[in-house]
Structure 1
Amino acid sequence: GVVCVTYGAGGHNIVNPVAGAYAEQVPLLVVSGGPGEAEQKLSGIHHQAKDVESQWRIFQQVTCAAEIVQHPERAALEIHEVVGKIAMERRPGYLEIHRDFVDAEIPVPRELVEWDGSFPRPTSDARKLSEAVADTLARVRAAKRPVLIGGLELYRAAAERDFLQLAEKLGVAVVTTVDAKGVFPMDHPLHMGIHVGPFSPPAVQKRVREADLVLALGTLLTDMNLGAAKPQVRRERSVWALGERVNVSFHQYTDVMLRDFVAALARERLPNFSEKVVYQDNLLRKRSSGDAKAREERAALTNNDLLLEVNEFLAANKGYHVFAESGDMLFGGLEVRLHGGGLYFAQGYYASMGFAVPASLGAQIGTGIRPLVLCGDGGFQMTGSEISHAPRHGLSPLVVLINNSGWQIFRPVSPREDLLSLPNWPYAELAQAWGGVGFRAQTRAELREALRAAHEVREFVLIECRIPPTDLSPVTRRYIRASARRARTGKTARR
């Protein structure tokens, strides 16, 4: 993508989103203006923070390449170098072009005129790749109960299809990490769920723990993926491929690209284990009927029941993309299961609040597919008003807004509840005022009816769901407490 901003106030305003793009490895070109040479001689320029180059220095910290284009004879090459690094490293880059340089004519070297538009990608050492595959094959063929863990780097390496082929050849259970949710089709019969260390569903924990071989492909060892705990996979029973290297037990093969390794493994003749897999999550399901079921339908809505209803809605209405806001819904979204090719979006690593609503608008512009957004009231009060632009662009996001009256994700660790409170906006009325449709739901039955009606509406929809302040999604409370305990003690937390 490309974003153009003004110097100073505009540039500084997007530092956090660009930092998120850097952390999440999203290729993005930032183009900023800047003051001309004559203006720079003044004692100060409006929008300037410290000195003329301060914005450029800031962006050096959140991009893979940053240049102020100042010399006509080098401009074409500098621009090409920045764009090349963006393409190669899949991270943001920054170009600053000052006011008096915009109309300057620049020479374009012959090599750029004749450039074919491609950027070279690193390739594997053929001998090392062959040995890494052979070493892995021997262990796969000796295994009785292997398991596959899919990581985010599979997506970044464009290896998802090869991973899918590998899983189907092996016929074993597949789990994904937190930040890789969606890298393997969630409605696939081999998909078992999300692995979040000690906060995984019990059956997922047991399956990974008892595996005699864990094929962890593209997985990152982050605090979120590990559930604020030590890795649960024993190295001697694992194959871990990431970036440009493969670890097979205690053997390490460098100069082996993840995509090449997964593709080569998927081409081999492999044993098929014909495992029967049952999808798992952390949601509680009650088997009630009659009067008991009727009482539950009228009871105050909880996060657990909200997520159950969203799952039932997505199963009946396939093809939605889902966007989960950072905060409680970053963890709550782990329990969501998509069908029919729908994609899942969240800032699973950088986790900046204010991501979901604007991201859903951009995605619908790009894909034409209607998004469903899971968002808390805190995240919505940051950037949710961007949804007011939806009508003029013909966009129709369906926002499920969890109104729990504050920053309740911090409740398990904050002794000052007064610091967590937020003003109670009239969310449904705001949706109407902005050209959309607003609903309120305080029970499971009301949410079910609101989702049904929202699906039939062509405008954007906001469903305000009133949730008790003390209620959190299944993983959130345990994860936040474990992280806080780890921070206090300096040791890895255990459940």
Structure 2
Amino acid sequence: MSRFDGGAAASRDMTLGRLVGAVLVEQGIADLFCIPGDFTMQLSRELLQTDGLSLRTMSHEYGTTLAALGYAVGRRVPGAVCFTYGVGVLNATNGIAQAYVERVPLIVLSGAPGQRERDAPVFLHHTVVDDDTQYRVMREVTAHQVRISDPHRALAQLREAVAVALAQSRPVYVEIPRDLYLAPVRYTPAPRLAAPPPAYSQPAWDAAHATLALLRAARQPVLVPGLEIKRYDLAAPVTRIVETLALPWVASPMSRIALSPDHPNYRGVYAGPASPAQVTRELLADCDALLLLGEPNSDVNMGIASAIPAGQLVQAYDGVVRVGRETYPAATADFVTALAEISRPRDGGLPDLRREQKPFLLPQPVHEAPDTDAPDDEALTPYHVIDELNRHFAAHPDTTLVVDCGDAFFMSLGMFPADVLTSSLYMSMGIAVPGALGYQLGSGRRPVVLVGDGAFHMTGQELMHARQAGVSPIVIVLNNQRWTSLSADDADESLTRQAALDFAALAQCYGVPGLTATRTGQLREHLAYALTRDEPVLIDAQVDPTQRSYLCERFFDAIKNQQHLPRL
């Protein structure tokens, strides 16, 4: 019996549209994010009839897709979206591309012209070049594409798409002609699929043995657990490697909380000169062997591997493991599992951190959290926002931070939430508000959101759907009326200036309580008030437009030096 077979007795007849919903539900997906259109209206009607599936309609396809990304991360199942042909899916393409780069499984459902429409000598609305344009675009930003043409093969094709999304932790594309939504099909239930477990692979074992040989010659090796470690739940074998080999490990901006920062071998977030802790910068400066596991060498992690001679680098990412100058075709999961299996204790242990090395590296216990760092009547700056949120996270250590790109992202490098959801590699603005809605729907946990005013202008309107969805994020808008992360220079004001909006008043229009904070004490009071409310709350945190966080300053100065760009 196939793993997709659930037994003939459980089979039942239904329409193809309802079959799509049934496959989503059997995979643990309880919410489908969508914007109905003329090519999907009947499909949406059929999906509404699916037991266990709620349709979450939103305002724009990009924000809708970001909500599905947050949902996938929060619920640990593939996200699912459904859009109309052409204008809908193409609007969503930036979010789909983000899922591809950030390694988030996502099922993209799209309507399409029926066969007779395709054959007719008429140029259909929503078409760009021809009726295959959208399909060609999706080839670039999804790991698997299928156009359903035979209703009786749809069940197998849908499950194959889900299997690819899980195996590759990337989006897949399913196109359904609109003349097939009511086609009769037979549905046979099946167990929920899962990503394939690590498997024995000779190249993976060869790479693991080569890695141990490299480490034996190293004086100061460092491990970086990357994005794939998080996506594929590989924390246990990587922790075993860290402990057995007595390796210090650092997070990167892309992969915070891949392992627990409470681990004694943790040495901070590495972002080159923007690293919050001095001990982190010193550790990487002295590193003579680097294990970069599950992450590309990116400008976001300051090209962390570029400073290491090629012969002293181990990098596993996207099906390839490089050990020194040798390359092995092996999945990161297979390699990590093999390395954990054969690792034996190295000579010498890892010294404990000294007290003076811990600032900016580890969160302070709640009883030690500062409460008099800044006078309550002092005007808000990025530094004060960092301090106040760290106080909040110390008191509520299970809180996830959903943070957008810009200075908000760099400020978050100095914060200590339980987890972080952001666009850390693709770096596309807009994820914070819709991502938080999806995250809370998926996880049931209330997040704190940190978003700049520029990013809020892009997708913040999705907050109007929070109350209807039954979610209650605490949204802090960094209102400095500028794209400050690009430049805080007065000479660039005409390029970076944002409209002076009253975000607290705007929140009221969205049916959300809005509060304004211009002083540190007000921000603290508003956070405390938000915790007493079982509803979404927005705090308009008005900060000086001429200031940006020191982490942002360091990062962009380093990027300019790295790329030989002029300094502003």
What secondary structure does 1:22 align onto? helix
Does residue 1:16 correspond to 2:94, yes or no?
A: yes
CA distance in 1, matches of 2:121, 2:236: 57
Structure 1 residues 332 and 118: alpha-carbon distance in aligned structure 2, compared to 1, 3 A threshold: closer
Residue 49 of structure 1: CA displacement? Answer: 3.4
How far the C-alpha of 1:392 sits from its partner, in A, is: 2.0
SS of the residue corresponding to residue 466 of structure 2 reads helix
1:257 to 331, 341, 350: 331
Map 1:203-352; keep pairs closer than 5 Å: 203-226=279-302, 231-250=306-325, 252=326, 254-267=328-341, 268-271=343-346, 273-277=349-353, 278-279=357-358, 281=360, 296-338=375-417, 342-352=418-428
Q: Which residue of 1 aligns with 2:73?
A: none
Q: Residue 221 of structure 2 corresponds to which residue in structure 1?
A: 146
Q: What is the identity percentage for the equivalent residue pairs of Structure 1 and Structure 2? A: 33
Quick check: 1:103 aligned with 2:179?
no
- Counterpart Cα distance in 2 of 1:34 and 1:100: 9
The residue that corresponds to 2:164 in the other structure is 85
**What does residue range 156-175 of structure 1 map to in structure 2 within 5 Å?**
156-175=231-250
Q: Secondary structure, in 3 states, of the residue corresponding to 1:21?
A: helix
Cα shift at 1:296: 4.5
Q: Which residue matches 2:270?
A: 195
Distance 2:124 2:206 in 1: 61
1:423-473 alpha-carbon deviations (Å, 9 max, x no partner): 222211232343332222222222222222222222111111111111112
Q: Decide whether aligned partners of structure 1 residues 45 and 444 sit closer, same or farther in structure 2, where only a CA change above 3 A counts.
A: same
SS of the residue corresponding to residue 112 of structure 2 reads coil
Provide closer, same or farther for how the CA distance between residues 241 and 101 of structure 1 changes in structure 2, counting only shifts above 3 A: closer
Alpha-carbon distance between aligned partners in 2 of 1:153 and 1:473, rounded to the nearest angstrom: 29
Tell me if structure 2 keeps the 8 A contact 1:377–1:405.
yes
Equivalent residues of 1:320, 1:371 under 8 A apart: yes
Q: Which moved more, 1:300-309 or 1:72-81?
A: 72-81
* Cα pair distance change 1:121/1:320, threshold 3 Å: closer
Matched residue SS, 2:300 = helix
CA separation of 1:295 and 1:98: change in aligned 2, threshold 3 A: closer
Match of 1:367 in 2: 443
Secondary structure of residue in 2 paired with 1:67: strand
Partner SS, residue 179 of structure 1: coil
Q: Note if contact 1:311-1:336 (Cα within 8 Å) is conserved in structure 2.
A: yes
Amino acid at match of 1:424: A
Counterpart contact for 2:108–2:171, Cα < 8 Å: yes
Give the CA deviation at 1:324: 0.9
Cα displacement string for residues 64-101 of structure 1 (whole angstroms, at most 9, x for unaligned residues): 22233234565555445433432332221112212212
Q: Residues 305, 173 of structure 1: CA spacing in aligned structure 2 closer, same or farther, 3 A cutoff?
A: farther
2:514 alignment partner AA: G
Alignment match of 2:498 (pick from 414, 422, 429): 422
Q: Which stretch of the first structure deviates more once superposed, 309-318 or 239-248?
A: 239-248
Q: Which moved more, 1:370-379 or 1:446-455?
A: 446-455
Contact 2:557 2:567 in 1 (8 A): no
The answer as to whether partners of 1:173 and 1:275 remain within 8 angstroms in 2 is: no
Alignment map for 1:45-124 (pairs within 5 Å): 45-72=124-151, 75-76=154-155, 78-105=157-184, 123-124=199-200
In structure 2, the residue matched to 1:289 is: none
Show the counterpart of 2:251: 176
* TM-score, normalised relative to structure 1: 0.85
TM superposition shift of 1:303:
0.7
Which gives a bigger RCO, structure 1 or 2 (Cα 8 Å, sep 6+)? 2
Deviation at 1:29, TM superposition (A): 1.3
Give the direction of change, closer, same or farther, for the CA distance of 1:410–1:75 in structure 2 (3 Å limit): same
- Cα RMSD (Å): 3.3
Change (3 A) 1:167 1:294: closer
- Contact between 2:405 and 2:422, CA under 8 Å: does it hold in 1? yes
Higher mean C-alpha deviation, range 369-378 or range 236-245 = 236-245
Q: Partner of 2:511 in structure 1?
A: 435
State the alpha-carbon separation in 1 of the partners of residues 268 and 312 from structure 2.
21
Counterpart-to-counterpart distance in 2, 1:47 and 1:212: 55
Unaligned runs of 5+ in 2: 1-78, 365-371
> How much has 1:10 moved relative to structure 2?
1.9
Residue 377 of structure 1 deviates from its aligned partner by: 0.4
Aligned to 2:461: 385
Structure 1 counterpart of 2:461, one-letter code: S
Q: Give 1:6 deviation, angstroms.
A: 1.6
For residue 290 of structure 1, what is the aligned residue in structure 2? none
CA contact (8 A) 1:186 1:337 kept: no
Cα contact 1:26–1:91 (8 A) shared by 2: yes
Q: Amino acid of the residue matched to residue 179 of structure 2?
A: D
Q: Does structure 1 retain, via aligned residues, the 8 Å contact 2:488–2:546?
A: no
Partner of residue 7, structure 2: none
Assess if the C-alpha contact under 8 Å between 1:482 and 1:494 holds in 2. Answer: no
Q: Go from structure 1 to structure 2 and tell me whether the alpha carbon gap of 1:253 and 1:123 turns closer, same or farther (over 3 Å shift).
A: farther
Kindly indicate whether the alpha-carbon contact (under 8 Å) linking 1:177 and 1:194 is maintained by their aligned counterparts in 2: yes
Matched residues, number = 475
Task: Say whether the 8 Å CA contact 2:434–2:460 is kept in structure 1.
Answer: yes
